[in-house]
Amino acid sequence: MSDLEVIIGLEVHAQMSTKTKMFCGCDNDAFGKQPNTTVCPICMGHPGTLPVPNATAIEKAIKASLAIGCSINLSNHFDRKHYFYPDLPMGFQISQYDFPLSSKGAVTYDMFDTSGNVTESKECGITRLHMENDAGKLTHKGSTTLCDYNRAGTPLMEIVTEPDLRSADEAVAFAQELRRILIAVKASEADMFKGMMRFDASISLREKGTEKLNPRSEIKNLNSFKSLERALQYEEKRLRKHWDTDGPLPGDITVGWIDDEGKTKMLRDKETADDYRYFPEPDIPPLEFDQKEIDVIAASLPKLPRELKDEYISLGLDEKQALQLIDQSTLQTMFEAIRSKTDAKRASSLVLTQLLGFLNAAEKEVAEGPDADAMLELVGKIDDGTISSNAGKDVLQKMVETGKNASTIIEAEGMQQISDDGAIEDLVQQAIDANPKAIEDYKGGNEKALGAIVGFVMKESKGQANPGKVNEILKKKI
């Protein structure tokens, strides 16, 4: 039996986060909309209409290109890619072929063990990033197919990798890091649930030590990391079995992934560039950029995920916590907002421990919990002495459960902290009178004995006495 290695390359399609479509003014947010309601003559390909490129989409594609290390091709153009399918109203796709927006980049990504610790870092080369418009969506019901063109014309980036990935695990780890980058530079929301990021995965085998690339199997339209992983694992096993009897595939093929059955299905022999009959898009002039324009965009890029992760770890967060913040922009926004008012340790405790704990207990998503402004209000109430830190936990729990803000909960529950010296003195005196043994032990050198006195005060005040003032007044009295 031959000693084989797996060769994997990806084509990643990411929807750009623009308000309008790639070549017209239609709403780019088709999720949840009634079928065929965000369309116009341009994205439906009516005769006589002219496409106009979306400047914001182009800028976002440039940002994504720079973030993955690609060089911008200062002169590039759109092409027509011809194929006929019911979800493609124009009868062709406006894409880029021989002169793409950018090329020759690389993405560094980490591999993790089962405990979430980094085992090694790897790099995957990027062949190109080009822009194109999306097709519509087909829904198959028995012998009937329904066409929804709301998505037709949506601006896409297609990111094509080199065949540098050697396992399904590597493919998933790379794809996850790429998603983090696209979100970080605000090029795409990359919401997998809404279909904003999809993968075509090509896989082949070759004998270890050889350089020849054998014919490949391309798995189309994978819409989650789990389906990417399962599909590649299945196809690797199938290709290994085929190799044992017949060697490598005789030619490139295209297969579909049937998620419910956990297997691939042969669709067709793979098309070549000749089949698509590419030629320059006659209705859109070539795109010409000045290097100074590109430099301005490059200077505007935020910190990328790997840099942010290193920064968070240097602040005392562990690998898992750092990735939680990077992977969930809402949490990251909260963390940074609270960190700007206090420190990283406290921000981490509030956001990653307390908030996430209460959300999990309430079986709610992050989006259903308090936002950054609400969290800052809570921090302010703790810092100005309105409530204690312990009371702050109770308030946060109620914020998650009810959706109300901190001020409303504090007032309704009567949770304001007692900071009046006279009131606390009365409580402290009651505690001293009720705990003579503790006072005697403290005066005998047992510092911990004060805990009983403080505990008495907090119990009598229902946790509302200011702990700092309690300790201060108590020590003065004894």
What domains, with CATH codes, occur in the chain? 4-295 (no CATH), 303-413 (no CATH), 421-477 (1.10.10.410)
Share of the chain above pLDDT 70, in %: 96
pLDDT at 457 over 90: no
Short-list 379, 305, 393, CA closest to 340 = 379
Single-letter code of the amino acid located at 453? I
pLDDT at 370 over 90: yes
Task: Please give the average per-residue pLDDT across 105-125, as a whole number.
Answer: 93
CB 65 within 8 A of CB 131: no
Mean pLDDT rounded to a whole number for the chain: 92
**pLDDT of res. 342:** 92
CB 125 within 8 A of CB 164: yes
DSSP state of 286: P
**pLDDT of res. 22:** 98
Q: Select the highest-mean-pLDDT range: 43-47, 390-394, 423-427.
A: 43-47
Pairing state between β 4-15 and 155-161: antiparallel
- Confidence bin at 364 (pLDDT 50/70/90): very high
Lowest mean pLDDT among 29-33, 322-326, 462-466: 462-466
pLDDT at 1 over 60: no
Task: Please give the average per-residue pLDDT across 382-387, as a whole number.
Answer: 87
Residue 16 makes CB contacts below 8 A (sequence gap 6+) with 22, 57, 60, 61, 155, 156, 157, 187, 188
CA distance 300 to 302: 6
- Confidence bin at 418 (pLDDT 50/70/90): low
Q: State the first-to-last Cα distance of the chain, in angstroms, to the nearest integer.
A: 85
Lowest mean pLDDT among 3-7, 16-20, 257-261, 439-443: 439-443
**pLDDT of res. 345:** 95
Determine the number of helices (DSSP H) and then strands (DSSP E) in the chain.
Answer: 17, 16
CA distance 234 to 5: 15
**pLDDT of res. 420:** 61
If you search the block for the tokens 């339209």, which residue do you land on? 221
Task: Please give the average per-residue pLDDT across 263-282, as a whole number.
Answer: 86
With 0-12 / 13-18 / 19 or more C-beta atoms within 10 angstroms meaning exposed / middle / buried, residue 230 is middle
**pLDDT of res. 154:** 97
CA distance 446 to 226: 58
Q: Select the highest-mean-pLDDT range: 31-35, 233-237, 448-452.
A: 233-237
CA distance 44 to 47: 9
pTM for this one? 0.85
**pLDDT of res. 419:** 61
Residue 387 makes CB contacts below 8 A (sequence gap 6+) with 381, 395, 410, 415, 416, 417
Task: Please give the average per-residue pLDDT across 190-206, as a whole number.
Answer: 95
Task: Please give the average per-residue pLDDT across 154-173, as a whole number.
Answer: 98
